[in-house]
Amino acid sequence: MDRLIINGGVRLSGEIRIAGAKNSALPILAATLLTDDLVTVCNLPHLYDITTMLELLGCMGVQPVIDEKLNVEVDSSTISHFSAPYELVKTMRASILVLGPLLTHHGRAEVALPGGCAIGSRPVNLHISALEVMGAEIIVEDGYIKASVEGRLTGSQIFMDMVTVTGTENVMMAATLAKGKTVIENAAREPEVVDLASCLIEMGAKITGQGTDTITIEGVERLHGCTYSVMPDRIETGTYLIAAAATRGNIKVKDTRPDILDSVLSKLEQAGANIKVGPDWISLDMHGERPKSVSLRTAPYPAFPTDMQAQFTALNCIAEGTGAITETVFENRFMHVHEMNRMGASIKVEGNTVFVEGVEALNGAPVMATDLRASASLIIAGLVSEHETSVDRIYHIDRGYECIEEKLQLLGARIRRAPAELSRHERFKVDHCIDKRANTSGDAAIAFDGRHSAFGGRHNKQKAAIRNW
């Protein structure tokens, strides 16, 4: 297990390119299950979650192929299994997105209840109840969602009790091949939902209203293949802009979209940043000045995104004044606060709100990442700290940020990846595994990183190829 070593005190400066959006790429990869034709997905970020989704498709018998331009070609005509195993689903909640496509295209699906970051409850009951309204028979047993339908799903009027991005995406994909018209009310409006809808339309789906709270889908007999490029990642964009603001720097992010970041850019301007935008770029300049504290409240798009909350908490730690940050989306998304306080921050938690009193500088310390966005916030905290900061459990950040230490190095940051230091107990476990491996042959060998292979036999070559990508 790796860690990141950061020596703070450097103002970030330079230019970087933004990768494709993970939260758009994952449902688009799931959507390839809706057709037997070849689908080419471009601008995929090189992330662990993307690899996991490709492995999941491979486990079903689908054959993703990496072309010469590092685009992924997916041929779902070879699908032979309709189950998403727990070994993969437990690491990534987005695996639930294969439920709708499998059910509507093949009439059956078996998906393990999802895992992912422990930031709060994200119940799948909305997915299940919506699909049941469309005619699916669903039971939950042995930790799996087991769904089937006779013939085709039926278009229906569906009201989401709460705004859910994956719920909206799952139902939207299922509705593309359903009989008749489906109307999703209280639908998620996120740009990633719109991006998925655009991809489905390229495949022949009839969808209107994406980007509003009411989405209408007219079911069609079949979908066809297409080539589609994933939108840029707005959360990655915002993270680097905040890192530059916290370090009093000056950066330009390219291959991005300013139009989907209004709420974040507004808060950065309140913090004292000079923001300029172009068609596909954003520049930020703090002119060497210390940022000012900002207060914000998270809510579904187009309001301030919950995925940017932790990063702004880190910014407020060293800003002038006091800022209040209220989290309304996830109930357990302040786990990074305790790590920041260990670094000398002054943060108080009251219910779903944190009050952050800015200090001149933080102190480097060993800290532990607790989820994806918390990892990014701790890196930002390390960049503005005196002395050395060590961030452990960075497998979280590898799920959502492409080559984060390399991009920060391009901006001048003193950051490097290093093997984690093992405790005496951990060293004993590794030694035990080595001894066990020495007495084991074939597929039973134990992985040194603690993860067991999800595949054996015929899937090993495919898994290796995807990993190499």
User: Quick one: pLDDT at residue 451?
Assistant: 31
User: Quick one: pLDDT at residue 331?
Assistant: 61
Element (H, E) at 316: helix 309-317
Nearest 5°: the CA angle 166, 201, 262 is 60
Measured between alpha carbons, how far is 417 from 96 in angstroms, rounded to an integer? 32
User: Quick one: pLDDT at residue 312?
Assistant: 96
Please report, in angstroms and rounded to a whole number, the separation of the first and last CA atoms in the chain: 20
* Token pair of 60 as six digits: 């079903």
Measured between alpha carbons, how far is 270 from 288 in angstroms, rounded to an integer? 16
User: Quick one: pLDDT at residue 459?
Assistant: 41
What count of residues does the chain have?
Answer: 469
Low-confidence residues in the chain, pLDDT < 50: 116-122, 430, 433-467
Measured between alpha carbons, how far is 150 from 103 in angstroms, rounded to an integer? 10
Query: Residue 299: how many CB atoms within 10 A of its CB?
Result: 16
User: Contact at 8 Å (CB) between 320 and 287?
Assistant: no
Measured between alpha carbons, how far is 144 from 117 in angstroms, rounded to an integer? 19
Q: Give the full edge-to-edge strand order of the sheet including 366-368.
A: 366-368, 388-392, 2-7, 414-419
Beta bridge partners of 283: 252, 276
* Token pair of 227 as six digits: 């080539």
Phi, psi (rounded to 5 degrees) for 177 = -110, 10
* Nearest residue to 377 via CA among 331, 352, 341, 407: 341
User: Contact at 8 Å (CB) between 330 and 322?
Assistant: no
The residue from 59, 117, 226, 317 that is catalytic is 117
Q: Give the full edge-to-edge strand order of the sheet including 181-185.
A: 157-159, 181-185, 214-218, 206-208
226 noted as active-site residue: no
* Token pair of 72 as six digits: 């992924």
Measured between alpha carbons, how far is 438 from 416 in angstroms, rounded to an integer? 32
User: Contact at 8 Å (CB) between 257 and 248?
Assistant: no
Concatenated DSSP letters of 112-137 = EPP----SS---SHHHHHHHHHTT-E
User: Quick one: pLDDT at residue 117?
Assistant: 40
Measured between alpha carbons, how far is 239 from 144 in angstroms, rounded to an integer? 35
Alpha helices in 77-164 (DSSP H): 86-89, 99-106, 125-133
Measured between alpha carbons, how far is 313 from 354 in angstroms, rounded to an integer? 8
* Cα-based distances in Å from 207 to 107, 154, 336: 22, 16, 39
Strands 214-218 and 206-208: antiparallel
Measured between alpha carbons, how far is 14 from 35 in angstroms, rounded to an integer? 43
User: Quick one: pLDDT at residue 379?
Assistant: 96
Alpha helices in 107-248 (DSSP H): 125-133, 165-175, 191-202, 234-246
User: Quick one: pLDDT at residue 444?
Assistant: 32
Measured between alpha carbons, how far is 455 from 116 in angstroms, rounded to an integer? 20
Measured between alpha carbons, how far is 154 from 73 in angstroms, rounded to an integer? 30
Chain position carrying tokens 């970041």: 261
Per-residue pLDDT reduced to its tens digit, 41-70: 999 999 989 999 999 999 999 989 988 777
The full 3-state SS of 367-388, as one line of letters, equals EECCCHHHHHHHHHHHHCEECE
User: Quick one: pLDDT at residue 143?
Assistant: 85
